[in-house]
A and B are shown apart, each in its own frame.
Chain A
Amino acid sequence: MTYESMLAETIAFRGHRGDLGEAYYARPLGGPWPGVVLIHHMPGWDEWIKEATRKLAHHGFATIAPHLYFREGPGSPDDVGARVRAAGGVADEQVFGDVAGAMEFLRAQPYVNGKVGVIGFCSGGRHTYLAACSLDGIDAAVDCWGGNVIVDDPKQLNAKRPVAPIDLTAKLRCPLLGLFGNDDENPNRDQVNRTEAVLKKLGKTYEFHRYDGAGHAFFNAARPAYRPEQALDGWDKVFAFFHKHLTAATAARAA
């Protein structure tokens, strides 16, 4: 019999400008484990995001999902998300600060091996792409169908989202995994191809995987978009990628 264990709980963490926020945190007991910051999607800090956090923990990653909308609280995550939507979303700079704070939390834990990855879904995929181009200390990044990485209409840029992520690609400083559904409208196939072309041209380390028969958010079992076969393969790609880039320190420590 193999013993499995996990601790999953709400914690406090210091985010952008030292603001005290809440995060969902799941980790296997024991260690050392690599760390992962999970960036939630636009609807907010919902049940599926917490399931995904526990899934990563089940596969050997101490995973923190900061609530990026905590400043609009108190309130239930859906009500808080509605306030953020009405206000036009959260500023990219604030997200960077929250992700940096979550990474700092992970690296302060004695059972984390020092390596930290970032994964994000939907708008969180875009945030992941941006963070990987903007923050130091990310060892691997996974963009799951992040939309608006390419911005064709400059009017979409504003004070909260001042830069098109694709324009920062030269600054990408860690390996990137991208997962996309070929039926997605944002990002669509053309946008994914154009993003890959820039990564290739700049000689970045990346893996892109595209899935037929899948659209946006095909991991989400609570939605009609769920595609079990593609999701199973996609999750395997995530775990393999993170283990490849985040477990080296564990191996070195054990050696």
Chain B
Amino acid sequence: MCSYIVEKAKLLGSAKGPNGWMRIDTANVYYDHPFHAPLDHALGIDFICEADGGRDRVAVELSAASARELVAAILAALSNGEIEHGKAAHHAVQAAE
């Protein structure tokens, strides 16, 4: 599609690349021709740190279906994790009492 359209998400976190762990503050997200994946179009995400110059990245190229499955998995993991960690926090409070 050659669109140059990039969505940006501001992040707080870390990613592990070829040079080890790095802090990241941005995800550049696009749906266009991939560089490596055997697809005509792919959902690409480049995790970068703009504050550090943005030259290093951790990249993925996913099929559209895979990307949607990943989104669902992320939301499910967050939801389940928050419930479990909420329980753990509740138990910790009870033990302290």
Chain A positions within 8 Å of B, measured between CB atoms, are 41-44, 46, 75, 77-79, 81-83, 85-86, 88-89, 122-123, 126, 147-148, 185-186, 215-217, 222-225
Contacts and interface: CB of A to CB of B under 8 A. Distances in A.
Interface string B41-70: 000101010000011110100000000000
A88 B30 CA distance: 12
B1 A186 contact: yes
Contact of A82 (B33, B39, B40, B57): B57
Given A82-B46, A83-B55, A89-B4, A122 B38 contact: no
Nearest to A121: B2
Contact of A41 (B4, B6, B33, B36): B33
Given A43-B34, A44-B35, A86 B2 contact: no
B25 interface: no
A75 B46 CA distance: 15
User: Which 10 A-B pairs have CB atoms at the shortest separation, nearest pair first?
Assistant: A42-B2, A123-B2, A78-B35, A89-B4, A225-B40, A43-B35, A43-B33, A86-B28, A82-B46, A122-B2
Sort chain B's interface into a size bin: 20 to 34
A85 B28 contact: yes
Given A82-B57, A85-B30, A186-B2, A224 B35 contact: no
Interface of B: 1-4, 6, 28, 30, 32-36, 38-40, 44, 46, 48, 54-57, 59
Contacts of A225: 40
Given A148-B2, A223-B40, 13 more contacts: A42-B32, A43-B34, A79-B55, A81-B35, A82-B28, A83-B55, A85-B30, A86-B46, A86-B54, A88-B6, A222-B38, A224-B39, A225-B40
A231 to B, nearest CB: 14
A242 to B, nearest CB: 24
Given A82-B28, A83-B54, A217 B4 contact: no
Nearest to B28: A86
Nearest to B8: A86
A8 to B, nearest CB: 21
Contacts of A186: 1-3
B80 to A, nearest CB: 32
